[in-house]
Amino acid sequence: MKIRIKGNSIRIRLSRTEVDTLGREGYLEESTEFGGPISFKYALQRRDGLDHLSAGFANGTVSMYVPEKMVAEWVSTETVGYSHHLDIGEGKQLFLLLEKDFKCIDSSVEEDQSDNYDNPLHVC
């Protein structure tokens, strides 16, 4: 699971296995350790009763909540992702984006991409 945060936007990308795990278990969590007890955590959770993506921050964890119906559709279709502008008060919004992670077209990328989705822009 990858997270990208910029200003008032949060983008999460999932590999094939992570999408399947979200569908089966309804929860994913990652952490980045900074030494000692300090870590940055982020989580993705399936939630019943939601109509759109939502998010929260509690106990040092950034969480994105995904409607149960959306998860069921996502794991069984070619849908790439979902987005939502979440009103957070005072005329502000938090942009949320959840996507399947594609293999990079650029061959210089060093991370393991074997579990990522085939990039639809890749031409053989």
| Domain boundaries along the sequence of the chain | 2-100
Distance from C-alpha of 53 to C-alpha of 47, rounded to nearest angstrom: 9
Maximum alpha-carbon separation in the chain = 49
Nearest to 12 by CA among 41, 44, 48: 44
In CATH, the architecture of 2-100 is 2-Layer Sandwich (3.30)
Q: What is the pLDDT of residue 106?
A: 59
CB 14 within 8 A of CB 97: no
Phi/psi at 99 (5° precision): -140, 155
**Residue 22: other Cβ atoms inside 10 A:** 21
Tokens 């929860």 correspond to 27
Strands 81-89 and 2-5, by their bridges, are unpaired
For the chain, 124 residues long, give each residue's pLDDT as a single digit of tens: 999 999 999 999 999 899 999 999 999 999 999 998 889 999 999 999 999 999 999 988 999 999 999 999 999 998 989 999 999 999 999 999 999 886 665 555 566 666 665 566 654 3
Strand positions, DSSP E, the chain:
2-5, 9-14, 27-33, 39-47, 54-58, 61-67, 81-89, 92-100
